[in-house]
């Protein structure tokens, strides 16, 4: 590579080379808004055909300048070359800005899918927040239980209905995380009924830490547990 090029130009060429080698090209096929807080984005293209995808895998969208945001595909059709992701629109960051500005036909550069959170059993309890709705939808089944902390029930309940997560138990966040006590009780009741259920904790880092401490203290819930923090106030790069 020509060292005489300006640093910004060299960085751009490196990024373009890496994208060609390791990423997939797609475009926006459809956009469905669920109120003002959520948007389901359907991506399609030949690069999404014949892809091995497992529910719980993650997909990274390249936003340019080495910035990327991670989503959990709701589903994936490897024959048609289609996948759907859920974007939250209430935050203020590069991913939210990207999702808000998208239009049908826009091009996208994707990395993945790659392994992230995959339960080995059909019996699973998903704890999370709005950012974990895509994961919950991907794993949804007869033996899936979903517990959520959310900023607004009015915004989230329509999304739950749209995604077929009507049985999810959602609590609005309260001062001092007081709402987590209610979710602890719900989780304990589920584990008493099905102590072998796998537990997946995703979403807000502080809430995951709280529920992890609770699970360590309780005598139930000895099954396999996975966790992944998607965000924390003031932190970047979590997925």
pLDDT in tens, 26-37: 999 999 999 999
Quote the number of domains for the chain.
2
Answer with the residue of higher pLDDT: 211 or 90. 211
User: Which tokens sit at 105?
Assistant: 């036909």
67, 95, 114: which is the final residue of a domain?
114
**92 and 181 housed in the same domain:** no
Residue (of 191, 171, 193) closest to 182 by Cα position: 171
pLDDT at 7 over 80: no
Classify strands 144-150 and 169-172 as parallel, antiparallel or unpaired: parallel
> DSSP letters along 166-213, please?
TT-EEEE--GGGTHHHHHHHHHHHHHHH-TT-EEEEEEEHHHHHHHHH
Residue 237 in any domain: the answer is: no
Query: CATH number of the domain that 214 lies in?
Result: 3.40.50.80
Q: What is the mean pLDDT of residues 174-182?
A: 97
**50 and 148 housed in the same domain:** no
pLDDT at 172 over 70: yes
**Percentage of the chain surpassing pLDDT 90?**
77
Contact 226, 200 (CB under 8 A): yes
Q: How far is C-alpha 88 from the geometric centre of its chain's CA atoms?
A: 10
Task: List the domain range (segments joined by +) for residue 101.
Answer: 7-114
Query: CATH number of the domain that 87 lies in?
Result: 2.40.30.10
**Which H helix or E strand runs over 162?**
helix 153-162
Residue 225 in any domain: the answer is: yes
Q: Tokens 């059909």, residue?
A: 122
pLDDT at 26: 97
First to last CA, the chain: 32
The partner residues of 63 in beta bridges, in order of sequence, read none
Residue 82: HSE in the Cβ half-sphere, 13 Å Cα cutoff: 10
pLDDT in tens, 61-74: 998 777 899 999 99
Phi-psi region of 210 (alpha: psi -120 to 50; beta: other; left: phi over 0): alpha
**154 and 103 housed in the same domain:** no
114, 147, 178: which is the final residue of a domain?
114
pLDDT at 92: 79
Q: By CB neighbour count within 10 A (0-12 exposed, 13-18 middle, 19+ buried), where does 123 fall?
A: middle
Q: Tokens 């584990």, residue?
A: 191
**84 and 150 housed in the same domain:** no
114, 138, 171: which is the final residue of a domain?
114
**38 and 62 housed in the same domain:** yes
Neighbour tally for 63: CB within 10 Å: 15
């Amino acid at each position: 590579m020509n060292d005489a090029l300006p640093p910004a130009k060299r960085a751009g060429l490196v990024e373009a080379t890496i994208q060609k080698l390791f990423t997939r090209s797609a475009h926006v096929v459809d956009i469905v808004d669920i109120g003002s807080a959520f948007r389901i984005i359907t991506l399609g293209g030949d690069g999404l055909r014949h892809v091995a995808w497992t529910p719980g895998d993650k997909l990274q969208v390249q936003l340019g300048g080495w910035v990327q945001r991670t989503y959990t595909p709701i589903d994936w059709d490897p024959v048609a070359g289609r996948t759907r992701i859920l974007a939250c629109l209430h935050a203020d960051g590069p991913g939210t800005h990207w999702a808000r500005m998208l239009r049908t036909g826009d091009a996208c550069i994707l990395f993945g899918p790659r392994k992230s959170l995959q339960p080995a059993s059909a019996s699973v309890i998903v704890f999370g927040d709005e950012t974990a709705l895509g994961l919950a939808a991907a794993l949804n089944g007869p033996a899936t239980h979903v517990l959520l902390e959310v900023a607004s029930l009015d915004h989230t309940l329509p999304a739950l209905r749209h995604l077929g997560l009507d049985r999810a138990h959602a609590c609005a966040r309260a001062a001092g995380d007081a709402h987590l006590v209610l979710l602890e009780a719900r989780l304990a009741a589920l584990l008493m009924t099905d102590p072998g259920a796998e537990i997946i904790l995703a979403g807000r880092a502080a809430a995951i830490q709280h529920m992890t401490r609770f699970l360590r203290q309780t005598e139930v819930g000895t099954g396999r547990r996975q966790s992944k923090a998607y965000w924390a106030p003031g932190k970047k790069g979590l997925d």
